[in-house]
Structure 1
């Protein structure tokens, strides 16, 4: 199959290693097509063995993921906010990944790479939550094997089809490369369009500032405050009087709260995304006076030094169960 076949035969393992390393480092470079191709080439005498491919994959994953682990351990929450800002995955998916890791722990690393946008975030969460390094490396290596195994197996099963594709690439050369690049560019554009549409939609949800919320608290007219951040078994600091509610929890979680009363929802993500998504849901369900807290918990925390001290209301709602 010409030069392409020679390139893959001579540098297949290196290409697998580099593509996996780039994807796990956070670049929008899908490594699955290269793994699929490596699985097909392993059926040929001149191709790399499955064992060698898996070793390259696990090595690349451990290098990139260990970097995320120590970055999360050192920088913590600011790094998570950065991931939310630059990721093309929806913020709600990122929040669900946080919640999953807090509930399941390092065992979630076994399947985290199979979830959109969850790989780097899960490894960073391992560092943030002080998961022991040996435990992290064990589950991360196991997850790397699970992640790569599916693509390699598919490549083995459809090796004849891959041979046909390689022959087409060798025949049509630059045209085939341009088609692949064009398809990849369309995929990235589509993901950014979905994110832009979500930001535009949730941007229509009205915001209440922290100062407005505190003025209501001082006046004794504090609305129902809902905490929609990712939570695990470890207690989290939260705004006094807030109830905890999962993003997709049944609305019965609100208890007997009248639909005509005010509700303010906060999160800890850019654009108040999770709070706006829940506020949108509540408004559609008949709670018209629902706001997202501008700046979320981070803004509330930042302004605490400038806000008047006051005890939480005596009738502060208890933490709601989110089942």
Structure 2
């Protein structure tokens, strides 16, 4: 028996538990390959399918419960932290918050199947005030659906291998190396994608001290608060004169955006991701005078600069003067 396969069989349940636990804590090590492998081995009775399900459920539920309580205590800070770890901060915060807002607790049933949502859904549930009992009910259901679908897929593959025993031996020799190669490629692609995006937008940012000076001097700039409603729970205030619009609403009003005034966008995302992404979309639509605010709302607040109560329903017509 190949060493890699022998080692995995000797410690399979512990490896599976720790792997799922660590992934759900936010470390970007996908659990799908190892669950597929475990499911494959249940076909030869080298592992027990119920034990695989229970171990994966325990690892994921422990991690999710921890993030639930962290989200309940610290709110959006935990969501942004997890999005940083995911290498998908450019879309992670906005995508997960909008999905959870639309679906509510039911989003936990499918969160493990959606990239970027699986881990972040738990702190968002805590942030919204969902009861822990309700969270556990929906989260456990989602974990079971995810684990069963992946392990049964592996079980199906294992049944095929049982009919061709030589294929199982070949798989044992090469599976570990192939898995490590694919995993390294996955991480490299995510990292490269993130770096390219950040390099594109960093040259265009405006710093808080410059914006503060321009506001004090009465400079005719349009400031847009792109924060998601969930991000307003810890602090609903906004920058002086800022309009509160979601990216979708802003993009829907392209014709109303003055071309002779600079547009400043801010959010509470890692690396100003939502503001930067929206700025790029506006530029591609022909609006060139647009810049994301460095550090977003958090950096502005950290420096002690003025904040005012926000107006949620202002439209761009008011900015046109």
Q: Normalization by structure 1: what TM-score?
A: 0.83
Could you say which residue in structure 2 is the equivalent of 1:87?
86
Contact 2:26/2:82 (<8 A) preserved: no
Could you say which residue in structure 2 is the equivalent of 1:114?
113
Aligned-pair distance for 1:188?
1.2
> Aligned partners of 2:140 and 2:17: how far apart in 1?
15
Aligned-pair distance for 1:37?
2.0
Aligned-pair distance for 1:317?
9.1
Could you say which residue in structure 2 is the equivalent of 1:258?
258
> Aligned partners of 1:158 and 1:169: how far apart in 2?
12
Contact 2:109/2:142 (<8 A) preserved: yes
1:138-287 mapped onto 2 (5 Å cutoff)? 138-160=137-159, 166-170=168-172, 172=173, 177-204=176-203, 206-232=204-230, 236-249=236-249, 251-254=251-254, 256-287=256-287
**Could you say if the C-alpha distance between residues 4 and 83 of structure 1 is closer, same or farther in structure 2, counting changes exceeding 3 Å?**
closer
> Aligned partners of 2:124 and 2:31: how far apart in 1?
23
Aligned-pair distance for 1:146?
2.0
Between the two proteins, the alignment pairs up a number of residues equal to 311
**Aligned partner of residue 264 in structure 1, secondary structure:** strand
Q: Normalization by structure 2: what TM-score?
A: 0.83
Aligned-pair distance for 1:319?
3.2
Aligned-pair distance for 1:157?
2.4
> Aligned partners of 1:234 and 1:79: how far apart in 2?
14
Alignment pair present for 1:319 and 2:314: yes
Could you say which residue in structure 1 is the equivalent of 2:59?
60
- Listed one character per residue, the Cα deviations across residues 163-188 of structure 1 (whole Å, up to 9, x for unaligned) are 66541144x4xx65334323322221
> Aligned partners of 2:229 and 2:135: how far apart in 1?
20
RMSD across aligned C-alpha pairs, in angstroms?
Answer: 3.1
**Aligned partner of residue 158 in structure 1, secondary structure:** helix
Q: Which moved more, 1:135-144 or 1:6-15?
A: 6-15
**Aligned partner of residue 113 in structure 2, secondary structure:** coil
Query: Is there any run of 5+ residues in structure 2 with no aligned partner, and where?
Result: 317-321
Contact 1:102/1:231 (<8 A) preserved: no
Name segments (4+ residues, structure 1) moved above 6 Å. Answer: 309-312
> Aligned partners of 2:232 and 2:269: how far apart in 1?
19
Contact 1:241/1:317 (<8 A) preserved: no
Aligned-pair distance for 1:72?
2.2
**Could you say if the C-alpha distance between residues 16 and 225 of structure 1 is closer, same or farther in structure 2, counting changes exceeding 3 Å?**
same
**Aligned partner of residue 265 in structure 1, secondary structure:** strand
Contact 2:220/2:261 (<8 A) preserved: no
Aligned-pair distance for 1:35?
1.3
Q: Which moved more, 1:182-191 or 1:206-215?
A: 206-215
- Listed one character per residue, the Cα deviations across residues 71-129 of structure 1 (whole Å, up to 9, x for unaligned) are 22233333334334333224322321123224433322212222223222211122223
